[in-house]
Structure 1
Amino acid sequence: MPTWVRAMLKIEKLNFAYGDLKVLWDVDLEVHEGEIVTVVGANGAGKSTTLKNISRLVTPTSGSITFQGRDLGKMQPHHVVEAGLVQVPEGRRIFPEMTVMENLRMGSYVKATRPDRQKNIDWVFELFPRLREREKQLGGTMSGGEQQMLAIARGLMANPKVLLLDEPSLGLSPLLVKNIFDIITGINKQGVTILLVEQNVYQSLRIAHRAYVMETGRVVLTGTGEELLNNDHIKKAFLGM
């Protein structure tokens, strides 16, 4: 079996610095087809920076990132999206002056996804009935939870092979947080592989097949979601137990 079948996305010895400030130290990470892989840790642990390196929004100092056997090292960000790695950024970053429908259409700007545009619109409206009700509403006038739904739906419009989610529960009420994680699980069950970065350790480990714990730019623990939920260090450091 080819290596990439076992690991769709593979990060090896990834190092990154903002100028003189080193942020990532020899990060190793794998995502296999069909998984939800979660990266958890405190604010400033390097989680979001890892995603930015994958998406080529920043350039690693050293190390390698491969996706389905392809080296991402020389790719531009739009080529990464075309390859099937689609990031939903922290803070949602929808287009506030555009309607819900216009935001969704922007999600399928990659030429290869345009033939699937209507099919994908129908799909995300099934996932998020609230968006169908508000398809003519300006994104900036929606609630935080609705904007997060729109951000995820816009990402799905690009036909992702791996959906990269950066802090999707940030700033949401507890009830909406549970709803977002249920939605993520549902998307995964429909065949989308997910790499999830989260500060909400309990909820994200609860849905994860495998997970990585980052502290000060390093991976310090890895295992199944269940294993890490039962880990004494995780309980003490993140769950207050």
Structure 2
Amino acid sequence: MLNIDKLNFSYGDMQVLWDLDLTVNEGEIVTVVGANGAGKSTTLKNVSRLVKWTSGSITFNGADLAKHEPHEVVEMGIVQVPEGRKIFPEMTVLENLRMGSFIKSARPDRDANIDRVFQLFPRLKEREKQLGGTMSGGEQQMLAIARGLMANPKLILLDEPSLGLAPLLVKFIFDIIQEINKQGVTVLLVEQNVYQSLRISHRAYVLETGRVVLTGKGEDLLNDDHVKKAFLGM
């Protein structure tokens, strides 16, 4: 579904990604893990076309993403849920969700998708008239993911969805990611919570200073000595 080939990217004179190779097959949960500054979020921004890579290529279902603007990438079925939630704080929960279905292809399914995300996140149904900015961090993260689902994504990009959440909510968010995947949405996940993300992943990539240093099945990487030492404190 998604193929990143020999991707290089720089912020000015500072190179962030080095010959990055990454694939995501339809139906998978693929995780990119690594420390702060490893290039994880930058990878997602390149897929979303929010930044322009220096060299290499990214294709989605065979289409060259270099030929498409960010709004066209969304129309193609790639939706990013950004780090830090980035909800509309002065809009209600329901208004935030409606904004998620702004693209033309998603509008006919708006009501059905609202029902769908309310089933996934009953808390949002209880607060549908509440302003997004007045909700807790966990509730805002639920809203950010739900808003992303409103666009009918084929591939959803999740950037640090567990960041800053209490342990109980972290488990809930990862359970939801698995449920979204079971409902037919392919997932590319960027996470610092290495244990939880590898636990639910079909495959994963370990990034260090913009380079892929390990790749494999999530369960295999959980048992890898390098991963244990670098990220799990074992």
| Bin of the TM-score, shorter chain as denominator length | over 0.9
When the two structures are superposed, what TM-score results if normalisation uses the length of structure 1? 0.97
Counterpart CA distance in 1 for 2:204 and 2:221 is: 8
1:13 aligns with 2:6: yes
Corresponding position of 1:157? 150
Counterpart CA distance in 2 for 1:46 and 1:219 is: 10
- Which amino acid letter does the alignment assign opposite residue 33 of structure 2? V
Equivalent of 1:199 in 192, 196, 199: 192
- Which amino acid letter does the alignment assign opposite residue 27 of structure 2? G
- Which amino acid letter does the alignment assign opposite residue 67 of structure 2? K
Moved over 2 A (4+): none
Write the mapping of 1:93-104 to structure 2, written as runs, cut at 5 A: 93-104=86-97
Counterpart CA distance in 1 for 2:140 and 2:105 is: 26
1:169 aligns with 2:162: yes
- Which amino acid letter does the alignment assign opposite residue 199 of structure 2? R
Q: Secondary structure of the residue that 2:67 maps to in structure 1?
A: coil
Deviation at 1:165, TM superposition (A): 0.1
Deviation at 1:151, TM superposition (A): 0.1
The 10-residue stretch of structure 1 (142-151 or 170-179) with the greater mean CA deviation from structure 2: 170-179
Q: Secondary structure of the residue that 1:60 maps to in structure 2?
A: coil
Deviation at 1:132, TM superposition (A): 0.3
Q: Secondary structure of the residue that 1:12 maps to in structure 2?
A: strand
Counterpart CA distance in 2 for 1:154 and 1:193 is: 16
- Which amino acid letter does the alignment assign opposite residue 189 of structure 2? L
1:136 aligns with 2:114: no
Deviation at 1:74, TM superposition (A): 1.9
Deviation at 1:143, TM superposition (A): 0.3
Corresponding position of 1:233? 226
Corresponding position of 1:5? none
Number of corresponding residues: 234
Corresponding position of 1:76? 69
Counterpart CA distance in 2 for 1:90 and 1:233 is: 26
Corresponding position of 1:4? none
1:126 aligns with 2:126: no
Structure 1 vs Structure 2 CA RMSD? 0.4
Deviation at 1:175, TM superposition (A): 1.0
Corresponding position of 2:20? 27
Which runs of 5 or more residues in structure 2 are unaligned? none
Equivalent of 1:51 in 27, 44, 47: 44
Equivalent of 2:208 in 210, 215, 223: 215
Q: Secondary structure of the residue that 1:148 maps to in structure 2?
A: helix
When the two structures are superposed, what TM-score results if normalisation uses the length of structure 2? 1.00
